[in-house]
Amino acid sequence: MIPGQAPNGASSDHTHLLFQENAKLYSHQVSIQSIIPFADLDEANRALYKAGTDSDHAIITNETIFHPQGGGQPSDEGKMEASNATFDVAMVRMDAVNQGRVLHFGRFVSGNPDALPSDSPITQHIDVDKRIFYSRYHSAGHVLGAAVRALLEKEIPGFDELKASHVPGSAACEFQGSIDGKWKADIQQKVDEYIAADMPIEIDWWSQEDFEKEGLQRLVPDPAIFDSVPGGKLRVVRIVGAEIYPCGGTHVDSTEGCGKTTVKKVSRAKGTSRVSYLL
């Protein structure tokens, strides 16, 4: 999970995650904080971008509309443009060394780093089609998780939601407990029901007290996380009428926006179950 960042909650050490406030902000001017040659990055950060070469750089900006890979959602792609340079953004990740900073990995296709000193303005543009596609997959994973919980929370001993991947081609939700394959049709029916109901998908920021008030402490097993996010609040995504999840990713406006979501397979191993899906 990419921790939620309360609106206007950025500090000098954190990149302000604009996409968490407005997932439809597809272009935006930001300020460059630093440009680092790939070879000069810490080893832990070089490992984040396995395709990186000595021709690549990482750009850090004060704000970003790019969603970094995390929380099961792939990274946004796109470009950054200044008057004297263009930088293709191939991958975005959270800095592995400096908490809260975002690294935009890629390559200059025109201009060069020397033309862009610190605090230079640069305009970010994300690949809109990919953003929408990844948002649909992410929301569909939440719909699937909500459907499985609604059906099986009281049917499966020790049931709980564990983790999820919303990557096209390998998307799946994992659960504690053994889910028999006979439930596949019921899960599909519930997913179809939720999508047809066009349930709104809303974003909010919750404190530890908010989770306790709603009786949802199970969603935050380690309360210490509230001390690690600006503003002391976690971003939550609510499927109105179904479920609430702590989540830092991007989503469509309602369940109908997911489109046709197909439950592919239910598999089991060592006391856990995996329900895969595709759009």
- 272: confidence class by pLDDT, cuts 50, 70, 90: very high
The 10s digit of each residue's pLDDT in 67-105 is 999 999 999 999 999 999 999 999 999 999 998 999 999
Question: What is the torsional sign of CA 169, 269, 138, 229?
Answer: negative
- 2: confidence class by pLDDT, cuts 50, 70, 90: low
In this prediction, residue 221 carries a pLDDT of: 73
Q: Is 162 helix (H, G, I), strand (E, B) or coil?
A: strand
Question: At residue 1, does pLDDT exceed 60?
Answer: no
- 143: confidence class by pLDDT, cuts 50, 70, 90: very high
Dihedral angle over CA of 190, 191, 194, 200, nearest 10: 150
Check: CB of residue 14 under 8 Å from CB of residue 243: no
Domain 131-278: homologous superfamily in CATH? Threonyl-trna Synthetase; Chain A, domain 2 (3.30.980.10)
In this prediction, residue 254 carries a pLDDT of: 98
Task: State the greatest distance between any 2 C-alpha atoms of the chain, in Å, as a whole number.
Answer: 62
- Mean pLDDT of the residues in the chain: 93
Taking the domains of the chain in order of start, what are their residue ranges? 16-126, 131-278
User: How many whole angstroms separate alpha carbon 254 and alpha carbon 272?
Assistant: 29
CATH number of 16-126: 2.40.30.130
- 107 or 216, greater pLDDT: 107
Asked if 16-126 and 131-278 have one fold, the answer is no
The 10s digit of each residue's pLDDT in 170-215 is 999 999 999 999 999 999 999 999 999 999 999 999 999 999 998 8
- 5: confidence class by pLDDT, cuts 50, 70, 90: low
Are β-strands 16-17 and 63-64 bridged in parallel, bridged antiparallel, or unpaired?
parallel
- pTM (2 d.p.): 0.92
Question: At residue 32, does pLDDT exceed 70?
Answer: yes
Check: CB of residue 149 under 8 Å from CB of residue 141: no
Taken as a whole, the chain contains a residue count of 279
- 10: confidence class by pLDDT, cuts 50, 70, 90: very low
